[in-house]
C-alpha cells in the first residue's frame, strides 16, 4: 500500500510559470504555423510550459525545435529551451539526459545573469537529485531555488521550492520538517489563489498524517484536496486522491469503504487510459476483495493487475501482486499455484529489497552529510561566540583597570564576582560537553543498530520466506502421514522447530525496523496492570507495582509497548533466580516534564517515565554499554532460545516511539531500566 505515498507529490513536480487561465492548446499550436523569428520562439516557450506536465513528449518536441531555431545572438532563449527540454526529459524519467541539459542551462544562465532561469534550473536539478536518491544535493538545490524566488518575489516559485524541500525531508523520514514546509506551501498557494497548487499541498499534508498514523487528519486533508480537484475538474488528480483515501480506509481495516473509493478511482483511470494507475488500483481492489473473503473476484483482479504491472514494468506492483495471488491461492487451498507465486514473490522481493537497501544506504549517507554540515555550522557559531566573549573580557579588563585606582573595594568585589561567573561558566561548559558526548554515543549506537538492523532484516525476510515454504510442505506432509505414527511424530517435531524458527525471524524483523506499528492512544495504568497480571510469579515479591491512576496516556502501538515491559519483567525474573534473600521487583510510573538538554537527549515536553527495578546481582559497568546490542547477554548459559534479542528489540521499539530507554546498575545492588515515552497529544478519532 506504500506505492501511493510518493505517487501524488511526485506526479506534479513542476508547474513552471504557467498562466492561471485556461488557454486553448490546439489554437496555440495552430498559430505556430504562421509565426516566425522571436514571435515563434515565444510561442514555443508557451507550448513547452503548457505541455510540461500533461504531455512531456510534446514539451520535448517543442523545446528541441526551439533550440534548433534559436540564433547565436539570442542565448537567453537557448537557456530557456534547455531548461524546458530538461523538464520534459525529467517527466519521462530520463534523468541523466535531463541533468545534462539543465546543468548546461544553469551555467549559461549564471554567465548571462538570468536570475529567474538560475532558480528554474536549480529547481529541476533538485527534482532530478531527489528521484535518483541524492537527497543532500536535492535539498541544497531546493534551498538555493527558494532564495532566488524570494529575492525575485515569485510566490509560485517560492511555493514550489518549499514543496520540493518537503518532499526531500519526507524521503529522509524527517516528517516534522516535511510537514512544516508543506504547511508553508499551502499558505502561499492560498494567498495567491493557486487552486491547483493548493490541492497538491493538501494531499502532501495528508500523506504526512497518514505516515504518522493520524488517519482522521489524513482523511480531512484528502477530502479537502478532493473537493478542490473536483472544482478544477482535473480527473488525474481526482483519481490519485480517491486512491489515497482508499488506502487510508484500508489501513483502518474499513475494507468496504476503501473498496468504494478504489472503484471510483479505477473508473477514472480507465477513462484516462492510465495503465500504471489501473495496475495500482486493480491490485488495491483485489486486496479489499481478498480481505472480504471474495476470493473469485480477488483472483481475477489480481491477475489483471499483474498483467498491467508486467506491461508497465512496475517492480513495486509486481511484488504486491505476486504476494496477493500467493495469499489467495493459499487460503483457497490451491497450494501448487500458491507455491508458484510464492517463488515468484520471493524472487521479486529479493530484487526489490536490493534496490531498497541501496536507497536506504543513500539516505543514510545523505543524513550523515546534512548532520556534518549542521555540526560544522554549530562549531563555527561557537567559535564566533568564544571570540565575542574574549573581546568582552578585554573590554571588562580595560574598564576594571581604569576604575581600580578610584574604587579599590569595588574592584575587589568585581574580581570576586568575575571568579564566580567563571566557575559557573566552566560548570556549564562541562555539562554541555557531557551532554554532547552522551548525544554522540546515542547517535553512534543508533547508527550501529540501524546498520545491523538492515542486515538482520534482510536475513530475517529471506529466512522467514524459506521457513514459510518449509512449514507449508510439512503441513501438507502431516495430512498425508496421519496413518503413520512414527513419521507423524517426527513431522510434528519438525513443524514445532519451524514455528520456533519463524518466531526468531519475527524477532529479527522487529529488531530491524521496530515492526509494523498501529498508533493509538494507550492508557498506561491498564497496560501495566495487564502485564503484571500475566506475571503472577512476581506477585509475592512485587513492591510498589501499582501505577498512579492519573498517569498520562501515550501514543503508540499497545502490542509493541506491552512486549517491551514483558521483556523487562522477564529480565527481572531471570535476575532474581540467583537471589537467596528477599526478592524485590518494582514498577514505578510517573508523569515528568523534561527540559532542553536533558540526560536522555529528548526534546523538551511531557513524558511518562516507567522504571522497572529488581534487587538481583546487577550488571557490571563494562557490560552496560553493550546491554542493548543484539545477541549480547550477561548470562553464562547461551543455549536458551532467543537469548540476547529482548533488550535490542526494546531499544528498537522505544526509539520508533520517539522515546528513550536506559539502564542503571551498581552491583550487587540490583538493576533499574528506565523508559521515557512522550505523553499523548493525539485527538480522539472516530470510526
> What string of DSSP letters covers 352-389?
HHHHHHHHHHHHHHHHHHHHHHHHHHHHHHHHHHHHHH
User: How confident is the model over 86-125, as pLDDT tens digits?
Assistant: 999 988 888 889 999 999 999 999 999 999 899 999 999 9
Q: What angle do CA 200, 206, 207 make, to 5 degrees?
A: 90
Instruction: Mark 376-391 as b/e (b = at least 16 C-beta within 10 Å).
Output: eeeeeeeeeeeeeeee
- pLDDT of the residue at 378: 74
Mean pLDDT, rounded, for 600-612: 90
Q: How far apart are CA 371 and CA 378, in angstroms?
A: 10
Three-class SS string for 3-36? Answer: HHCCCCCCCCCCCCCCCCCCCCHHHHHHHHCCCC
Q: How far apart are CA 251 and CA 85, in angstroms?
A: 40
Q: Which residues contact 581 (CB under 8 A, 6 or more apart)?
A: none
Mean pLDDT, rounded, for 506-532: 65
Mean pLDDT, rounded, for 335-351: 81
- pLDDT of the residue at 539: 64
Cell readout for 150 is 524570494
CB 434 within 8 A of CB 442: no
Q: How far is CA 119 from CA 142, 160, 598, in A?
A: 9, 11, 42
Q: What angle do CA 139, 144, 147 make, to 5 degrees?
A: 125
- Judged against a pLDDT cut of 90, whether residue 423 lies above it is answered with no
CA nearest to 645, candidates 543, 505, 489: 505
Q: What is the mean pLDDT of the chain?
A: 79
Q: How far apart are CA 606 and CA 548, in angstroms?
A: 16
Mean pLDDT, rounded, for 478-503: 68
Longest Cα–Cα distance of the chain, Å, equals 112
Query: Using 50, 70 and 90 to split pLDDT, how confident is the model at 686?
Result: very low
Q: How far apart are CA 178 and CA 200, in angstroms?
A: 14
Which DSSP helix (H) or strand (E) runs through 673? strand 671-678
CA nearest to 356, candidates 445, 285, 257, 458: 458
- Judged against a pLDDT cut of 80, whether residue 679 lies above it is answered with yes
Cell readout for 601 is 537527549
- pLDDT of the residue at 302: 83
- pLDDT of the residue at 671: 93
User: How confident is the model over 350-361, as pLDDT tens digits?
Assistant: 776 666 666 666
More confident residue, 145 or 30: 145
Q: How far apart are CA 512 and CA 489, in angstroms?
A: 35
Which DSSP helix (H) or strand (E) runs through 308? helix 295-312
CA nearest to 645, candidates 480, 506, 486: 506
**What is the pTM assigned to this prediction?**
0.48
- Judged against a pLDDT cut of 80, whether residue 292 lies above it is answered with yes
More confident residue, 448 or 51: 51
| Range ranked top by mean pLDDT from 167-176, 270-279, 411-420 | 167-176
Cell readout for 50 is 503548457
- pLDDT of the residue at 9: 45
Q: How far apart are CA 674 and CA 564, in angstroms?
A: 11
Torsion of CA 228, 233, 235, 240, to 10 degrees: 0
Which DSSP helix (H) or strand (E) runs through 589? strand 585-594
User: How confident is the model over 166-175, as pLDDT tens digits?
Assistant: 999 998 889 9
How far, rounded to the nearest angstrom, does the alpha carbon of residue 212 sit from its chain's CA centroid? 9
User: How confident is the model over 27-80, as pLDDT tens digits?
Assistant: 777 777 778 888 888 888 888 888 887 788 889 999 999 999 888 888 899 999
How many other C-beta atoms lie within 10 A of the C-beta of residue 475?
Answer: 13
- pLDDT of the residue at 11: 43
CB 607 within 8 A of CB 594: yes
Query: Using 50, 70 and 90 to split pLDDT, how confident is the model at 7?
Result: very low
- What is the 8-class DSSP label of residue 538? G
The number of residues making up the chain comes to 687
Domains of the chain by start residue, with CATH: 520-678 (3.30.565.10)
Amino acid at each position: 500500500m506504500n506505492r501511493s505515498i510518493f505517487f501524488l507529490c511526485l506526479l506534479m513536480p513542476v508547474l513552471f510559470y504557467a498562466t492561471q487561465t485556461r488557454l486553448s492548446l490546439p489554437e496555440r499550436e495552430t498559430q505556430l504555423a504562421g509565426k516566425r523569428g522571436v514571435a515563434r520562439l515565444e510561442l514555443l516557450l508557451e507550448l513547452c510550459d503548457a505541455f510540461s506536465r500533461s504531455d512531456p513528449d510534446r514539451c520535448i518536441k517543442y523545446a528541441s525545435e526551439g533550440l534548433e531555431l534559436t540564433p547565436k545572438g539570442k542565448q537567453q532563449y537557448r537557456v530557456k529551451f534547455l531548461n524546458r527540454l530538461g523538464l520534459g526529459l525529467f517527466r519521462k524519467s530520463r534523468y541523466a539526459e535531463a541533468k545534462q541539459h539543465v546543468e548546461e542551462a544553469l551555467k549559461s544562465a549564471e554567465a548571462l545573469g538570468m536570475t529567474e532561469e538560475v532558480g528554474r534550473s536549480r529547481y529541476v536539478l533538485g527534482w532530478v537529485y531527489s528521484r535518483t536518491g541524492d537527497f543532500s544535493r536535492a535539498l541544497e538545490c531546493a534551498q538555493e531555488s527558494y532564495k532566488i524566488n524570494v529575492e525575485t518575489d515569485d510566490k509560485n516559485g517560492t511555493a514550489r521550492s518549499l514543496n520540493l524541500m518537503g518532499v526531500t525531508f519526507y524521503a529522509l523520514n524527517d516528517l516534522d520538517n516535511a510537514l512544516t514546509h508543506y504547511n508553508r506551501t499551502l499558505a502561499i498557494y492560498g494567498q495567491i489563489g493557486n487552486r491547483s497548487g493548493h490541492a497538491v499541498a493538501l494531499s502532501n499534508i495528508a500523506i504526512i498524517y497518514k505516515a504518522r498514523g493520524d488517519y482522521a487528519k489524513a482523511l480531512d486533508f484528502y477530502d479537502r484536496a478532493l473537493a478542490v480537484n473536483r472544482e478544477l475538474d482535473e480527473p488525474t488528480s481526482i483519481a490519485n486522491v480517491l486512491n489515497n483515501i482508499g488506502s487510508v480506509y484500508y489501513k483502518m481495516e474499513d475494507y468496504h469503504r476503501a473498496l468504494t473509493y478504489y472503484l471510483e478511482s479505477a473508473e477514472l483511470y480507465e477513462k484516462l487510459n492510465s495503465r500504471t494507475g489501473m495496475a495500482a488500483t486493480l491490485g488495491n481492489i483485489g486486496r479489499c476483495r481478498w480481505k472480504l473473503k471474495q476470493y473469485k473476484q480477488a483472483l481475477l483482479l489480481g491477475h489483471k493487475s499483474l498483467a498491467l504491472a508486467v506491461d508497465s514494468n512496475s517492480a513495486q506492483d509486481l511484488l504486491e501482486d505476486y504476494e496477493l495471488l500467493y495469499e489467495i491461492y493459499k487460503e483457497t487451498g490451491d497450494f501448487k499455484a500458491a507455491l508458484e507465486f510464492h517463488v515468484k514473490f520471493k524472487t521479486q522481493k529479493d530484487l526489490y529489497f536490493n534496490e531498497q537497501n541501496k536507497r536506504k544506504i543513500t539516505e543514510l549517507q545523505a543524513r550523515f552529510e546534512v548532520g556534518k554540515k549542521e555540526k560544522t555550522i554549530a562549531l563555527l557559531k561557537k567559535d564566533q561566540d568564544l571570540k565575542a566573549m574574549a573581546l568582552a573580557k578585554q573590554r571588562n579588563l580595560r574598564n576594571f583597570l581604569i576604575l581600580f585606582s578610584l574604587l579599590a573595594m569595588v574592584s575587589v568585589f568585581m574580581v570576586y564576582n568575575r571568579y564566580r561567573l567563571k566557575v559557573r561558566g566552566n560548570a556549564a561548559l562541562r555539562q554541555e560537553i557531557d551532554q554532547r558526548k552522551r548525544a554522540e554515543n546515542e547517535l553512534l549506537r543508533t547508527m550501529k543498530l540501524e546498520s545491523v538492523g538492515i542486515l538482520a532484516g534482510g536475513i530475517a525476510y529471506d529466512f522467514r520466506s524459506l521457513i514459510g515454504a518449509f512449514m507449508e510442505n510439512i503441513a501438507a506432509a502431516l495430512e498425508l502421514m496421519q496413518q503413520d505414527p512414527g513419521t507423524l511424530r517426527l513431522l510434528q517435531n519438525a513443524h514445532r522447530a519451524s514455528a520456533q524458527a519463524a518466531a526468531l525471524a519475527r524477532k529479527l524483523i522487529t529488531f530491524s525496523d521496530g515492526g509494523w506499528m498501529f498508533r493509538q492512544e494507550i492508557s498506561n495504568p491498564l497496560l501495566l496492570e495487564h502485564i503484571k497480571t500475566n506475571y503472577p510469579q512476581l506477585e509475592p515479591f512485587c513492591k510498589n507495582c501499582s501505577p498512579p491512576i492519573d498517569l498520562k496516556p501515550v501514543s503508540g502501538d499497545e502490542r509493541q509497548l506491552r512486549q517491551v515491559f514483558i521483556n523487562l519483567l522477564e529480565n527481572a525474573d531471570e535476575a532474581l533466580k540467583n537471589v537467596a534473600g528477599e526478592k524485590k521487583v518494582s514498577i514505578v510510573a510517573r508523569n515528568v516534564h523534561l527540559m532542553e538538554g536533558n540526560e536522555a537527549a529528548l526534546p523538551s515536553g511531557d513524558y511518562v517515565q516507567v522504571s522497572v527495578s529488581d534487587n538481583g546481582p546487577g550488571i557490571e559497568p563494562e557490560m552496560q554499554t553493550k546491554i542493548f546490542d543484539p545477541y549480547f547477554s550477561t548470562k553464562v548459559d547461551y543455549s536458551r532460545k532467543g537469548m540476547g534479542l529482548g533488550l535490542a528489540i526494546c531499544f528498537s521499539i522505544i526509539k520508533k516511539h520517539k522515546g528513550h530507554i536506559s539502564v542503571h546498575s551498581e552491583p550487587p545492588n540490583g538493576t533499574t531500566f528506565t523508559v521515557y515515552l512522550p505523553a499523548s497529544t493525539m485527538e480522539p478519532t472516530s470510526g
